[in-house]
C-alpha cells in the first residue's frame, strides 16, 4: 500500500470531464477539489452515476477513503 497523498488531479482523471456544471461547480476540476476537501459528496456528480463510469466512481471512492 502506498501512502502517497491523493491529488486533485487523481480525482479529476476519474471524473466524466464534461464540465456540465450539474454539480453546482463551474467545472470538473473545481468539483474534484471540493470532493477531496470533503466539501462535496461523490453523489453530487450525476454523470458519475452512469453505468459507463461505474469503475471510475469506485476508483474515486477508494481514493477518498484512503486519503
Ligand atoms: S457534475 Fe460531474 S461531470 Fe458535471 S461538472 Fe460536475 S464533476 Fe464534472
pLDDT tens for 42-52 read 999 999 999 99
Tell me the pTM. 0.91
Tell me which residues have their CB closer than 6 angstroms to ligand 1: 15-16, 18-23, 25, 27-28, 31, 45-48
Query: Domains in the chain, please, with CATH?
Result: 8-66 (1.10.15.40)
pLDDT tens for 5-58 read 899 999 999 999 999 999 999 999 999 999 999 999 999 999 999 999 999 999
Centre of ligand 1 from the C-alpha of residue 5, in Å: 23
Cα 13–chain centre separation: 8
Reduced 3-state DSSP string for 1-54: CCCCCCCHHHHHCCCCCCCCCCCCCCCHHHHHHHHHHCCCCHHHCCHHHCHHHH
Amino acid at each position: 500500500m502506498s501512502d502517497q497523498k491523493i491529488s486533485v488531479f487523481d480525482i479529476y482523471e476519474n471524473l466524466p470531464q464534461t464540465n456540465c456544471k450539474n454539480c453546482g461547480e463551474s467545472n470538473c476540476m473545481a468539483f474534484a477539489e471540493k470532493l477531496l476537501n470533503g466539501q462535496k459528496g461523490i453523489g453530487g456528480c450525476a454523470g458519475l452515476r452512469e453505468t459507463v463510469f461505474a469503475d471510475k466512481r469506485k476508483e474515486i471512492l477508494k481514493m477518498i477513503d484512503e486519503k
